[in-house]
Amino acid sequence: MRKSQSQTASKKQPLTPNKNKIKKPKKDILNEEPKPDLKNKASRWTLPRQIVFNFLKHSSSHLSAKEIYNALHRSYPGIGLATIYRTLELLFQLGLIRKISSGDGQSRYELKDQNLAGHHHHLICLGCGRIIDYQDFAEEELQLVKKTEKVLAKKHNFLIKDHNIEFFGLCEKCRLK
């Protein structure tokens, strides 16, 4: 929730032009992969968006914006950090990724699971911030979640989109400190 008052609306000096245009990769990534339904959150599915989305699909979980930026920067120096943030926000709005906060001051992102097989939640160490995925009791969880969702949706007139479960504690290393 960072707002601005635009107190410097008067200055209109030209900015440094974009030096690093994004080079199109050999493979036509943009048209090779299926494009997600943008609903009306955006009007164009662009190369940077596809690249970020693709990266999330093929990398391990819980990445911060900065980490994604750094990882992509080698192959795509033309993609700016702001675009990473904007793309993550879009993917989040579209319900394609999940935003998690491990306790350090930054948000982390991961692809949403498409099926029960991949469905997981997190075990978070309060000492070092390590995040461990777990998948235990998924069926029982699903039962309880469905039931709860139904009640909450009706009682509070909510349209429920997702849920999250997490456990906090100390990992082996941090217990001994």
CB of 167 to a copy of itself, least distance (A): 5
Stretch that binds DNA, among 45-53, 55-63, 113-121, 127-135 (CB under 7 A): 45-53
Residues 85-124 that bind a copy of itself (CB under 8 A): 99, 101, 103-106, 123
- Is 79 a binder of DNA (CB under 7 A)? yes
φ, ψ of residue 119 in degrees (nearest 5): -60, 130
CB contact at 8 A, 151 and 84: no
Which residue carries 């926000």 as its tokens? 89
Among 28, 33, 81, 93, binds DNA (CB under 7 A): 81
Q: State the Cα–Cα distance between residues 22 and 144, nearest whole angstrom.
A: 47
Nearer to DNA, 37 or 153 (CB): 37
26, 85, 94, 120 from 98: Cα distances, Å: 30, 14, 10, 12
CB of 77 to DNA, least distance (A): 7
Strand-by-strand arrangement of the 63-64 sheet: 63-64, 107-111, 97-101
Give the β-pairing of 107-111 and 131-134. Answer: unpaired
- Is 149 a binder of a copy of itself (CB under 8 A)? yes
| 110 C-beta neighbours (distance < 10 Å), count | 19
Among 29, 96, 107, 130, binds DNA (CB under 7 A): 107
- Is 82 a binder of a copy of itself (CB under 8 A)? no
Nearer to a copy of itself, 118 or 169 (CB): 169
Among 64, 128, 130, 131, binds DNA (CB under 7 A): 64
> Which residues are near a copy of itself by CB under 8 A?
1-2, 99, 101, 103-106, 123, 125-126, 129, 132, 134, 136-137, 140-141, 144, 147-149, 151-153, 155-172, 175
